[in-house]
Structure 1
Amino acid sequence: MGGLTGPVLRADEAVLRANIAAVTARVAPSALMMVVKDDGYGLGAPWAARVAADAGVGWFGTYDIPTALRLRDEVGAAPRLFAWVTSLDEEIDAALRAEVDLGVGTLDYLRRVIARATALGAVARIHLKVDTGLHRNGLSADEWDEGVASALRAQEAGHVLLVGAWSHLAEASDEEDDAAQARFLDAVHRAGELGAELPYQHLTASAATWARPELRGSLVRVGAFCFGVRSADGPDLPGIAPAAELVAPVREVDGDEVVVGAGSFDGLPSILAGRVHVGTPAGARALLAIGADAARIAGWDGAAVGDEVVLFGRGAHGESSPTTLAEAIGTVGEEILCRLTPHVRREYR
Structure 2
Amino acid sequence: MDELTAPRLEMSRARYQQNLAALQRQLAPSQLMVVMKDDAYGHGVEWAVDAAVEAATPVALFGGYDVSTALRIRARAPQARIFVWVTSPDDEIRTALASDIDLGVGTLPYLRRIVAVARDVGTTARVHLKIDTGLHRNGVRPEDWPAFIAEAMAAQNDGVIDVVGVWSHLAEASDAEDDDAAAEFARAVASLESAGARPVARHLTASAASWWRPELRGSVSRIGAFCYGVRSADGPEIPGVAPVAALRAPVIDVLDDHVVISVGALHGIPSTIAGASVGTPGGARVLRHVGAVTSAVEVWPGARQGQDVTVFGPGADGESDATALAERIDTVGEEILTRLTPRVRRVVTD
Contact 2:280 2:316 in 1 (8 A): no
CA distance in 2, matches of 1:157, 1:233: 49
- Where 2:211 maps in the other structure, the secondary structure is helix
Aligned-partner residue type, residue 288 of structure 1: R
Pairing 1:18-37 to 2, within 5 Å after superposition: 18-37=18-37
Distance 1:257 1:23 in 2: 42
1:70 maps to what in 2?
A: 72
Alignment deviations for residues 165-206 of structure 1 (CA, whole Å, 9 cap, x no partner)? 000000000010000000000010111111111111000001
2:106 corresponds to 1:84: no
Are the equivalent residues in 1 in contact too, given 2:323–2:333 (CA < 8 A)?
yes
Distance in 2, matches of 1:226 and 1:197, equals: 29
Amino acid paired to 1:246 = L
> Residue 198 in 1 paired to residue 199 in 2?
yes
SS of residue in 2 equivalent to 1:310 = strand
Which consecutive residues of structure 1, in runs of 5 or more, have no partner in the other structure?
none
8 Å CA contact retained: 1:315, 1:321: no
Are the equivalent residues in 2 in contact too, given 1:311–1:319 (CA < 8 A)? yes
- Aligned-pair CA distance for 1:281: 1.3
Matched, 1:320 2:320: yes
Equivalent-residue separation in structure 2 for 1:311 and 1:4 (angstroms): 17
Q: Who is 2:265 aligned against?
A: 264
Aligned to 2:222: 221
Q: Secondary structure at the match of 1:115?
A: helix
**Does residue 1:305 correspond to 2:299, yes or no?**
no
* 1:4 shift after superposition: 2.5
* 1:340 and 2:323 matched: no
Residues 51-62 of structure 1 mapped to structure 2, 5 A cutoff:
51-55=51-55, 56-62=58-64
| TM-score (structure 2 length as normaliser) | 0.96
Which amino acid letter does the alignment assign opposite residue 290 of structure 1?
V
1:265 positional shift: 1.0
Higher mean alpha-carbon deviation, 48-57 vs 260-269, is at 48-57
Contact 2:312 2:318 in 1 (8 A): no
Deviations 1:17-60 (A, max 9, x none): 01111111111110000101000111101211111122211111
* Cα shift at 1:13: 0.5
In 1, Cα distance between the equivalents of 2:317 and 2:6? 19
Q: Which amino acid aligns with 1:60?
A: F
Question: Contact (CA 8 Å) 2:310, 2:316: kept in 1 or not?
Answer: no
1:108 matched to 2:85 = no
Could you tell me how far apart the structure 1 residues matched to 2:302 and 2:143 are?
Answer: 70
TM-score (norm 1): 0.97
Looking at structure 1, the residues matched to 5 and 194 of structure 2 have their Cα atoms a distance apart, in angstroms, of 63
Structure 2 distance, partners of 1:135, 1:315, is: 40
- For the residue of structure 1 that corresponds to 2:309, the secondary structure is strand
SS of the residue aligned with 2:250? strand
Give the deviation of 1:316 after TM superposition: 3.4
- How do 1:101-180 and structure 2 match up within 5 A? 101-180=102-181
- Distance in 2, Cα, partners of 1:269 & 1:250: 19
Q: Distance in 1 between matches of 2:92 and 2:318?
A: 46
Q: Deviations over 1:140-186 (max 9, x none)?
A: 12221222222222222222110110000000000100000000000
Residue equivalent to 1:17: 17
Alignment size in residue pairs: 346
More off after superposition, 49-58 vs 178-187: 49-58
CA distance in 1, matches of 2:269, 2:315: 18
In the alignment, residue 99 of structure 1 is paired with which amino acid? D
Residue 279 of structure 2 aligns to which amino acid in structure 1? G
Query: What is the CA-CA distance between 1:317 and the residue it aligns to?
Result: 4.2
Q: What's the CA shift for 1:268?
A: 0.6
Alpha-carbon separation, structure 2, partners of 1:271 and 1:168:
31
What is the CA–CA distance in structure 1 between the aligned matches of 2:24 and 2:311, rounded to whole Å? 29
CA contact (8 A) 1:24 1:32 kept: yes
Q: Give the aligned residue type for 1:332.
A: V
For residues 91 and 53 of structure 1, the distance between their equivalents in structure 2, rounded to whole angstroms, comes to: 25
The aligned amino acid for 1:268 is I
Q: Does the CA contact (< 8 Å) of 1:249 and 1:307 recur in 2?
A: yes
Cα RMSD after superposing both structures: 1.3
- Which amino acid counterpart does residue 70 of structure 2 have in structure 1? A
Contact 1:281 1:317 in 2 (8 A): no
Separation (CA, whole Å) in 2 of partners of 1:311 and 1:93: 43
Is the partner of 1:297 in helix, strand or coil?
A: strand
CA spacing shift, 1:188–1:45, aligned 2, 3 Å = same
Gaps of 5+ in 2: none
